[in-house]
């Protein structure tokens, strides 16, 4: 359990001190955010704010995890490493997107096909590897069965599982990307979901099927739940430290570097902890904002009319006159309620299995 505390504190500390160093470096190189003219007018003042801030919490998370293993003399697990691979791999794709936007002065960054190809390569690699490396009980980091609070139903088979995993990875990485439109919104919401997965990992570890004492009805057949909690704690701490600098008025933006990485980490934690469908509730704000874009685009194509003044949803409320801070705080409250409901359902699932 000490690992969780150490990783969280290290992630927080490294991100707190590393982010201002990155701000100075990016400002010196002139790597500032490009603001589209079709967005809310209030956002034009943000033009030039350093972006690619995701570099800070990606490095903080990786270093925190590595140092935790050194300090506690514990070995890394394949589940933890796979989640960090997905997190970092999608962060690299996002970095290339941000870099092209800034250096090449191309407002949309990577070409859509190139960006999708990068996400697919990283996602497929994660999905395939997650079905390898079985432990002594024959349990792999991921399961080919669907899951809510635990696995249920029949096996999807490896091919359909890879497609399902890709859907989750793409949906969450792009969901966080869409949410990252206001200062601190995506970062604060991510902190809450990573906190949820820290709790889930600890609970699964205490009720693991691999433990002869706790094995029984409702036990969790997850190979490395404690290490997943260590990864989640490092992510939570790193995002919390970054939030200090990313909250309004933001001194730095996470960019696609950060948003794609965070979405990948969320999907990876859900897949490896057997809580795939529960993620839609735990990360309810990301789902809500993504749905607003789907509804807006669908409505305009079918009827020629818009449902919202602007999508994603946060900009709709800005155009209604809400201040940026008001939107962020109220959306954080919504995310907090999603987190509470999700954890409640997770616990209810365990109680029902007893």
DSSP 44: G
pLDDT given at position 199:
98
Q: What is the pLDDT of residues 277-293, one digit of tens each?
A: 999 999 999 999 999 99
Helices 158-179 and 185-206 meet at what angle, rounded to 10? 140
Structural domain for 330, as ranges: 79-142+152-225+243-352
SS3 235: helix
Q: In this structure, are residues 176 and 231 in contact, taking their beta carbons and an 8 Å threshold?
A: no
Number of domains into which the chain is organized: 1
Binding residues for Mg(2+): 177, 256
CA 109 to chain CA centroid, Å, is 21
* Cα distances (Å, whole numbers) of residue 266 to 10, 103, 158, 190, 235: 20, 29, 21, 8, 10
In the annotated binding site, the residues are 177, 256
Residue 223 class from Cβ within 10 Å (0-12 exposed, 13-18 middle, 19+ buried)?
A: buried
- Assess if residue 70 is contained within a domain: no
Q: How many CB atoms lie within 10 A of CB 348?
A: 11
d(Cα 66, Cα 68) in Å, to the nearest integer?
A: 5
Q: What is the pLDDT of residue 171?
A: 96
pLDDT tens digits, residue range 295-319? 999 999 999 899 999 989 999 999 9
DSSP for residue 33: P
Contact partners, residue 66, CB within 8 Å, separation at least 6: none
pTM value is 0.93
Cα–Cα distance for residue pair 161/257, rounded to 1 Å: 26
Q: Is residue 73 part of a domain?
A: no
Residues of the chain with pLDDT under 70: 32-48, 105-109, 212-215
- 234 located within any domain: no
Return the pLDDT at 109: 65
Q: Is residue 11 part of a domain?
A: no
What is residue 44's predicted lDDT score, i.e. its pLDDT? 46
In a domain, 247, yes or no: yes
Alpha-carbon Rg of the chain, whole angstroms? 20
Q: Is residue 179 domain-resident?
A: yes
For residue 339, is it within any domain? yes
Any domain includes 272: yes
């Amino acid at each position: 359990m000490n690992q969780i505390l150490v990783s969280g504190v290290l992630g927080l500390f490294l991100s707190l001190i590393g982010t201002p160093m990155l701000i100075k470096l990016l400002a010196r190189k002139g790597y500032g955010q490009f603001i589209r003219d079709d967005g809310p007018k209030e956002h034009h003042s943000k033009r030039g704010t350093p972006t690619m801030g995701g570099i800070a919490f990606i490095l903080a998370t990786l270093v925190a995890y590595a140092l935790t293993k050194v300090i506690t003399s514990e070995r890394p697990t394949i589940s933890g490493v796979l989640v960090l691979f997905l997190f970092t791999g999608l962060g690299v794709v996002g970095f290339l997107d941000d870099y092209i936007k800034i250096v090449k002065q191309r407002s949309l960054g990577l070409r859509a096909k190139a960006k999708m190809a990068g996400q697919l390569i990283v996602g497929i690699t994660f999905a395939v590897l997650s079905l390898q490396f079985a432990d002594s009980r024959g349990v792999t980091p991921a399961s080919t069965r669907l899951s809510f609070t635990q696995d249920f139903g029949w096996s999807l088979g490896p091919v359909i599982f890879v497609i399902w995993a890709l859907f989750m990875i793409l949906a969450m990485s792009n969901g966080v990307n869409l949410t990252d439109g206001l200062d601190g919104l995506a970062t604060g919401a991510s902190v809450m979901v990573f906190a949820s997965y820290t709790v889930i990992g600890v609970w699964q570890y205490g009720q693991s099927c691999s433990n002869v004492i706790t094995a029984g009805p409702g036990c969790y057949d997850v190979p490395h739940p404690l290490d997943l909690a260590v990864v989640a704690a490092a992510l939570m701490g790193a995002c919390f430290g970054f939030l200090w600098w990313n909250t309004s008025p933001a001194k730095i933006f996470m960019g696609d570097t950060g948003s794609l990485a965070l979405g990948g980490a969320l999907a990876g934690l859900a897949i490896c902890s057997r809580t795939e469908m529960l993620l839609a509730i735990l990360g309810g704000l990301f789902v809500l904002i993504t749905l607003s874009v789907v509804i807006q685009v669908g409505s305009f194509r079918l009827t020629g009319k818009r449902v919202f003044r602007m999508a994603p949803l946060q900009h709709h409320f800005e155009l209604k006159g809400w201040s940026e801070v008001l939107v962020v705080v109220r959306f954080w409250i919504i995310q907090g309620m999603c987190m509470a409901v999700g954890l409640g359902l997770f616990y209810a699932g365990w109680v029902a299995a007893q």
